[in-house]
Structure 1
Amino acid sequence: MEQDFGLFLKRLRESKSLTLSQLASGAGISGSQISRIENGLRGVPKPATLRKIAEAMDVPYEELMERAGYLRDEEQMAESIPEWATGKDKRDFKRMLEDDGELMFDGIPLNKEDKQRIKDVLTGLFWEAKQMNKRNPAYKKGKSEH
């Protein structure tokens, strides 16, 4: 997936007649980061980075999200959202997953499968914690007193 997305991004950038430096400047990210993405060395960027790239290239954000494989993942995640979750809960969760930091373990970037496993675990833990907070007002009150 990383190599496929990188090649797609490179072809898209070239079709817009943009250099690496021009895209980097427009997106506010480093040229070396874009180069690593295009060459499949960095992996698929986080959604927040994809948004910056989409805006810099004047392409639909959803197109990059789909090509990066996120839209399918979001649809699968939507199936696991509890019925009691509010709009604010969903926004909090989305914001948490869109954090732009690269996931690493022991100094090595994680591959897509490892990242998905982590997202799956975080999804379960997030909704469990949200439900616990909603059921136990004393827990929320106790946290605010500290």
Structure 2
Amino acid sequence: MPKGQGLLIAQNKKASHDFFIEETFEAGLVLQGTEIKSIRGRRVNMKDSFARIDYKGEAYLHNMHISPYEQGNRYNHEPTRARKLLLHRKEIDKLIGETQQAGYSLVPLKVYIKNGVAKVLIGLGKGKKKYDKREDLKRKQAKRDVDRALKNNF
């Protein structure tokens, strides 16, 4: 875990497979009701989630599933609602410029709790082509084979 991050809650492992991550940003999450209790209970799924900046210049996180809290009764939340991201204006302006280029997207990488507050690590990613993904798999398999051979020899 990189220096400065708190308790890791969820990680988007598919992001590094589908994107070249060029830059990362730490963003706060605007939560409602019992969402923080579900996050602390690690009931978060980041599969197929993405971030987008709307026409007002505000960043939102879409499709991140936070399961309803069991003891939440009527105060529970909608699991996949769009959640506002808290970023500095300069960061948002930079992201607007970068994402308007073809092939760039905002990808949530990790959800963690830092100093009692839920944070999301957002990556600026350029989409990988199919041949890039195959190349990564070949490289990973070759490294695994080398490690296995070294382990067996010693």
Common fold by TM > 0.5: no
Interval containing the TM-score (normalised by the shorter chain): 0.3 to 0.5
TM-score, normalised by the number of residues in structure 2: 0.32
Which structure dedicates a bigger proportion of its chain to helix?
1
Which structure is higher in RCO with an 8 Å CA cutoff and minimum separation 6? Answer: 2
The structure that is strand-richer by fraction is: 2
